[in-house]
C-alpha cells in the first residue's frame, strides 16, 4: 500500500491524532489539511555503455546518471544506499562488456554533466560511489597511496550524465 493511500484511508479523527504527535511541521500540516504525502518520483532510466579506444583506454558513458553532492543533500541513509547501489550496477553492467586496461597503474577521469555546476569539493564527493566502483573493478584501493590517479571535471548540459575514462599506465611511465 502506498503512503498516500494509507493517509487517505485514515478518518479525520485519526489524522488529527496522528498530526498531534508529529514533530515535522510539513507532515503535521499535510495530515491536518487532508493532503496525501507524495511519493518520490521514479528515477530516470540510465543508458550506459563502455567502449575500448584505439589507445587501449576505456570510455564509459552513462547518460541519465545523476551524481549527488551528499555533503549538501538531506538524504535518508536508505535512499543513499539505494542510489549508490544503482550507480554501481550501472557501471558494473557497462564495464562487463569490455576488458579494462592493463596496469600496474591507472589514470581515471570522471566527468559529470549537469544542469548546474558544483563546487570542486562537492564534485569529488558526488563521484565517491563511481570512484569506489571503478576501484573495485580494477581490484585496487582507491586511497591516496593506491595505484590510481583520480581527476574530476564537469560541464553544463541539458540533462545529467557521467563520462569515465580509464587509462592504463605502464611501469616507468607517468
Q: List domains and CATH numbers for the chain.
A: 3-32 (no CATH), 47-169 (3.30.1330.70)
Which three three-digit cell numbers place residue 50? 563502455
CA–CA separation, 102 and 57 (whole Å): 9
Burial class (CB in 10 A: 0-12, 13-18, 19+), 24: exposed
* Sequence-ordered strand ranges (E) for 121-160: 148-156
Distance of alpha carbon 48 from alpha carbon 62, whole angstroms? 4
pLDDT at 117: 93
Please report the pLDDT score of residue 36 as a whole number: 41
pLDDT of residue 75: 82
| Strand-pair partners of 152 | 110
Helices (H) and strands (E) in the chain, counts: 6, 5
Which run of H or E residues covers position 14?
helix 12-20
Output the pLDDT for position 35. 44
Global pTM?
A: 0.72
pLDDT, one tens digit for every residue, the chain (174 residues): 566 667 777 777 887 888 888 888 877 777 777 544 343 444 458 899 999 999 999 999 999 999 998 888 888 888 889 889 999 999 999 999 899 998 899 999 999 999 999 999 999 999 999 999 999 999 999 988 889 999 999 999 999 999 999 999 887 665
HSE, CB side, 13 Å, CA atoms: give it for residue 136. 12
Separation between Cα atoms, residue 164 and residue 129, nearest integer Å = 13
Say if CB 108 and CB 151 are below 8 A apart. yes
Amino acid at each position: 500500500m502506498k503512503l498516500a493511500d494509507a493517509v487517505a484511508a485514515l478518518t479525520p479523527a485519526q489524522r488529527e491524532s496522528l498530526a498531534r504527535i508529529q514533530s515535522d511541521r510539513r507532515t503535521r500540516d499535510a495530515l491536518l489539511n487532508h493532503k496525501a504525502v507524495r511519493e518520490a518520483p521514479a528515477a530516470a532510466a540510465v543508458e550506459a555503455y563502455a567502449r575500448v579506444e584505439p589507445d587501449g583506454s576505456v570510455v564509459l558513458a552513462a547518460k541519465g546518471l545523476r551524481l549527488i553532492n551528499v555533503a549538501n543533500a538531506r538524504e535518508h541513509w536508505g535512499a543513499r544506499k539505494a542510489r549508490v547501489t544503482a550507480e554501481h550496477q550501472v557501471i558494473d553492467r557497462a564495464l562487463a562488456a569490455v576488458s579494462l586496461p592493463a596496469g600496474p597503474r591507472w589514470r581515471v577521469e570522471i566527468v559529470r554533466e549537469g544542469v548546474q555546476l558544483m563546487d570542486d569539493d562537492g564534485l569529488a564527493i558526488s563521484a565517491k560511489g563511481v570512484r569506489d566502483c571503478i576501484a573495485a573493478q580494477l581490484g585496487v584501493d582507491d586511497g591516496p597511496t593506491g595505484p590510481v590517479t583520480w581527476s574530476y571535471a564537469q560541464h553544463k548540459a541539458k540533462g545529467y550524465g557521467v563520462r569515465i575514462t580509464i587509462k592504463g599506465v605502464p611501469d616507468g611511465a607517468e
